[in-house]
Structure 1
């Protein structure tokens, strides 16, 4: 997870702790999951791109 995603997840956690309403906490939990999943997919795409660029068979 990159630095921006980690910061965002930390901010979501802080907001979640201060929310008394269940609906808002549930929303923040889902948002955290989306941010985490997006970070994982971004990392996978970057590795795939690196792999394709360094494929010497296609040079």
Structure 2
């Protein structure tokens, strides 16, 4: 997880703790899950790209 993702998750945690609305809490929680999933997918795709670049059989 990079610094931007961590900062964004921290901001969402703060907003979630400040609200009393169930809908807003759910929205913040779902947004955090999406951010974590996107981070995982980005990391996987970067690894796949690195593997393809250094694999002469895929050139």
Q: Which has the higher contact order (CA 8 A, sep 6+)?
A: 1
Counting matched residue pairs gives 59
TM-score for both structures, normalised by structure 1: 0.91
Structure 2: state its 5+ residue gaps: none
What does residue range 44-55 of structure 1 map to in structure 2 within 5 Å? 44-55=44-55
Could you tell me the TM-score, scaled by structure 2's length?
0.91
CA RMSD in angstroms, aligned pairs only = 1.0
Partner of 1:43: 43
Unpaired runs of 5+ residues, structure 1, are none
Aligned to 2:5: 5
Once superposed, which parts of structure 1, at least 4 consecutive aligned residues long, lie more than 3 Å away? none
CA-to-partner distance for each residue in 1:10-33, whole Å, 9 max, x for gaps? Answer: 111011000110000000000000
